[in-house]
């Protein structure tokens, strides 16, 4: 029997889900910066160090928005997540995949946002049993940061932060509602996969994942980056 095409299902859900995660990730980092007493200049730095830099054009867009998500997802979610899931089950693997992603993109102040995004992309891989939804979501996220990075450089002198934050909150609530409605539909249709249980005890599984060479590379590079700052 011919299998139904999953593309329309995961494309629609992934777009809404990815937008909600992007808004939430940004707002989470923003809260962390505000709690730590950051000013507008520091908060602007949070955006301008997100990868877009100060150069805009076709090649920078292609590298940051398209190529970077593909390479990162193939490694973090394609290779590492699969390796983690075999040893630790789905839930632990989603969290560890998120931690790896946060160590790759975050800092001590902006760790929560990438952690949320990393766990969300791993959940998409689990949900649809495919790397492509995670790649699509990552592309949407990078496109979002690329655009707001450009807007910050263009209009930072106009004091747009309070309006920008308010707009992000509204967009997050809207996309969250649409995402939950789509998730409800997927549950009703029975499209969600069952999560794999831990093959061993929880701590043994976590230990096996932490000593994974890929995880070791991420945590070592993160510590070195923090120390050298």
Segment 104-131 mean pLDDT: 87
Name the average pLDDT for the chain. Answer: 79
What pLDDT shows up at residue 176? Answer: 95
121: tokens are 């992309």
| 66 compared with 196, residue with greater pLDDT | 66
Instruction: Look at residue 2 and tell me whether its pLDDT is greater than 80.
Output: no
- Cα separation, 206 vs 227, in Å, equals 25
Segment 108-119 mean pLDDT: 87
- Cα separation, 219 vs 23, in Å, equals 26
- Cα separation, 67 vs 122, in Å, equals 19
- CB neighbour list of residue 8: distance below 8 Å, 6 or more residues apart: none
What pLDDT shows up at residue 85? Answer: 77
Please tell me the least confidently modeled range out of 3-7, 85-89, 148-152, 213-217.
3-7
Residue-range domain boundaries for the chain: 7-228
Summarize pLDDT for 169-208 with one digit per residue, the tens: 999 999 999 999 988 887 777 777 777 776 666 666 667 6
76: tokens are 């973090």
Please tell me the least confidently modeled range out of 23-27, 78-82, 179-183.
78-82
- Cα separation, 195 vs 126, in Å, equals 8
**φ, ψ for residue 81, nearest 5 deg:** -60, -45
- Cα separation, 161 vs 152, in Å, equals 9
**pTM, rounded to two decimals:** 0.84
What pLDDT shows up at residue 92? Answer: 83
Whose CA is closest to 68, among 101, 46, 23?
101
């Amino acid at each position: 029997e011919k299998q139904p095409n999953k593309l329309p299902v995961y494309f629609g859900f992934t777009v809404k889900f990815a937008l909600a995660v992007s808004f939430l990730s940004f707002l989470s980092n923003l809260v962390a910066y505000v709690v730590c007493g950051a000013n507008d200049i520091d908060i602007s730095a949070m955006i301008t160090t997100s990868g877009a830099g100060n150069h805009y054009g076709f090649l920078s867009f292609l590298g940051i928005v398209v190529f970077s998500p593909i390479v990162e997802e193939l490694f973090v979610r394609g290779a590492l997540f699969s390796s983690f899931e075999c040893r630790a089950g789905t839930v632990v693997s989603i969290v560890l995949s998120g931690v790896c992603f946060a160590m790759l993109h975050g800092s001590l102040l902006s760790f929560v946002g990438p952690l949320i995004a990393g766990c969300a992309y791993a959940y998409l891989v689990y949900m649809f049993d495919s790397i492509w939804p995670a790649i699509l979501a990552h592309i949407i996220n990078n496109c979002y940061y690329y655009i707001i990075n450009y807007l910050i450089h263009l209009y930072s002198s106009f004091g747009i932060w309070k309006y920008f934050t308010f707009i992000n909150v509204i967009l997050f609530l809207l996309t969250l509602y649409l995402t939950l409605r789509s998730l409800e539909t997927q549950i009703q249709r029975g499209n969600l996969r069952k999560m794999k249980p831990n093959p061993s005890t929880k701590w043994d599984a976590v230990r096996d994942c932490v000593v994974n060479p890929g995880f070791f590379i991420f945590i070592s590079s993160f510590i070195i980056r923090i120390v050298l700052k």
